[in-house]
Amino acid sequence: MSQTLGSKLVAMLEVVYPAVDCAFVAEQLMDAMALVPDAEAPPAHQNHWDQSDIVLITYADTVQQPDEKPLVTLKRFLDDSLRDVISAVHILPFFPYSSDDGFSVMDYLAVNESHGGWNDIEAIAGDYKLMADLVINHMSARSRWFENFRKRVGPGKDYFFEGNPKDDLSMVVRPRTSPLLTPVQTDDGERHVWCTFSEDQVDLNFANPEVLIEFARIIHYYLERGVKIFRLDAVAFLWKEPGTPCIHLQQTHELIKILRLLIEHHTPDAVVITETNVPNRENLTYFGNANEAHAIYNFSLPPLLINTLVTGNCRHLKTWLMSMPPAQMGTTYLNFIASHDGVGLRPTDGLLDEDEKQRLINTMESFGGKVSYRRTADGRDQPYEMNIALWDALKGTAEGGVDHWQLQRFLCAHTIMLALEGIPAFYIHSLLATENDHARVEHTGRFRSINRGQWQLDTAEAALADPLSHHSKAFTELKRLIAIRRSLPAFHPNATQFTLHLGLQLFGFWRQSMRREQSIFCIHNISDEVQQVALTDINLIGTDQWVDLLTGATLDDLAGVLTLKPYQSVWLSN
């Protein structure tokens, strides 16, 4: 007999809170989510996605119009320019915040007034699958909870994680160079709070089950307002134990299972995505046994793909792709090449050597990019991420510098992403082919601002309407590629994928639909020189008629040669 929700919850909670009345906590969690203990579990291993799913990543205020709330402007831009292009939209934190462009949340249950209101969020959720951030690791030092922490009253008094400067914190994995502990004055005297990211982002204390219950209430509130996809921000750092690395601890994985259990009992087709900017092997653990994240960010893809296109050598990308396990049914990868953050370098650990990383960093700096650092356990500062707009990251090669292949290289990167196993996600500045925003970096003093610019709606529309602008050329072709991808069952996020061996200048893989009726050979020239491949090397089935879906050209002689121009891609299908 299958376990009920109540009994499952208690068993999971006992792993995290062995000294607590877990039956009581389970009851509180179910109340917070408006669930009943004997609720039936949704069927396991369900794919809540298909080949038509395309995600847009944007801030609420990336596209603006005078005298209008940005969420209203965003909805108009989505409806007018992207209705047939995307299925889901990830609106980065749209809550009141004190720093980090939204990731230092002051109130989880409010919409930032300058962006709009919950009605605007619900309007977008009515027409697109809405992805929202659950900024779960930390909260603003200017939040009401933290004010209560200082005053030593609830709610908030025991909601933040305190450290002791005398503790051994040498093993703690850091994503920043800022101090880990911040002294704060409270009504009980000085206390040291744990700040993984910045002194304005104080880590929450999940060792207190009350914090988990609060987040169940927050999740329920989001679900009721139409949020379908939850991005668990910085979730790898959730549980802390001095004397350990304080990343990927078992309690963190158990808490993700608990949150997923609650979410899918409330909304069976809701999706949980973990955001863990860490080495590839560590990242893969967040699938659990298909009972943690439904999807994980494919963090190794951006640096490896950019490296491939600026070196004209796909060896590392190919090695990585061959090592990637196919996602179980009911789980998938979220593929992206750019986001609101920089291009992470930790996900290249074990994939690129130090000299190769440095060469990539030097190339990005020569194209106007910046580099952010993190502090290692032995006190050294190590490159953490490269901050650069994707359009500029692909403006040339490591060897030759800036050249005239920028648009072709940019499109090649996205053609690869669109064809890979998983769901493709486009950062709005990639769809618009936005350049580095050096003025914004100057203004904010933060390197990440280089890729967080804002567009006036009329300026964006004019740029996209001008056939001579690179914005229009990129956007028009990306829309065409997306439309082709969305119609092809071989590009279902869980369809079979095998890596092809076509040398170092041609990156190829084979996709086959789940019912085996369609095969697509995706071959990409990742170099700035013409490349040829013998069709006999690809093993095309001789009885089928083969066509390049990108150009409509048919292959008449399967014993012949396929010639690809610099950065050209073909999707050969039967």
SS3 for 171-227, per residue? CCCCCCCCCCEEEEEECCEEEEEECCCECCEEEECCCCHHHHHHHHHHHHHHHHCCE
Mean pLDDT across 104-125: 98
Global pTM value: 0.97
Q: Are strands 88-91 and 55-58 parallel, antiparallel or unpaired?
A: parallel
Whole-angstrom Cα distance, residue 498 to residue 326? 10
pLDDT band of residue 554 (cuts 50, 70, 90) is very high
Say if residue 217 carries a ligand binding annotation. Answer: no
pLDDT band of residue 39 (cuts 50, 70, 90) is confident
* Active-site residue, 233 included: yes
Say if residue 340 carries a ligand binding annotation. Answer: yes
Residues of the chain by 3-state class (helix, strand, coil), percent to 5: 35, 20, 45
| Residue 542 confidence (pLDDT) | 77
Instruction: Give the contacts of 476 (CB within 8 A, at least 6 positions apart).
Output: none
- The answer to whether 519 and 574 have CB atoms below 8 angstroms apart is yes
User: For residue 58, with 0-12 CB atoms within 10 Å meaning exposed, 13-18 middle and 19 or more buried, which class applies?
Assistant: buried
Whether pLDDT at 436 is above 70: yes
User: What's 97's DSSP letter?
Assistant: B
Mean pLDDT across 255-266: 98
Instruction: Give the contacts of 532 (CB within 8 A, at least 6 positions apart).
Output: 561, 562, 563, 564
Which residue of the set 233, 392, 528, 548 is catalytic?
233
Mean pLDDT across 147-170: 97
| Residue 1 confidence (pLDDT) | 37
Say if residue 120 carries a ligand binding annotation. Answer: no
Whole-angstrom Cα distance, residue 87 to residue 80? 14
Neighbours of 477 (CB within 10 A): 17
Q: What residues does 307 pair with on adjacent strands? A: none
Mean residue pLDDT of the chain comes to 96
SS3 state at 353: coil
Q: What residues does 510 pair with on adjacent strands? A: 498, 521
| Residue 539 confidence (pLDDT) | 80
User: What's 137's DSSP letter?
Assistant: S
Mean pLDDT across 176-195: 97
Whole-angstrom Cα distance, residue 50 to residue 459? 34
Whether pLDDT at 377 is above 90: no
| Residue 40 confidence (pLDDT) | 83
| Residue 425 confidence (pLDDT) | 98
Say if residue 76 carries a ligand binding annotation. Answer: no
Q: Which of 494, 543, 554, 489 is nearest to 519 (CA)?
A: 489
| Residue 118 confidence (pLDDT) | 98
| Residue 52 confidence (pLDDT) | 98
Q: Which of 80, 84, 86, 83 is nearest to 465 (CA)?
A: 80
Percent of all residues in the chain with a pLDDT value above 70, rounded to a whole number: 100
- The answer to whether 308 and 524 have CB atoms below 8 angstroms apart is no
| Residue 540 confidence (pLDDT) | 84
- The answer to whether 120 and 78 have CB atoms below 8 angstroms apart is no
Mean pLDDT across 183-210: 98
Whether pLDDT at 166 is above 60: yes
Q: Which of 472, 460, 341, 436 is nearest to 78 (CA)?
A: 460
**Per residue in 73-103, pLDDT tens?**
999 999 999 999 999 999 999 999 999 999 9
Instruction: Tell me the domains of the chain and their CATH numbers.
Output: 496-573 (2.60.40.1180)
Say if residue 78 carries a ligand binding annotation. Answer: no
| Residue 2 confidence (pLDDT) | 60
**Per residue in 276-307, pLDDT tens?**
999 999 999 999 999 999 999 999 999 999 99
Residue whose pair of structure tokens reads 């769901």 in the numeric block: 423
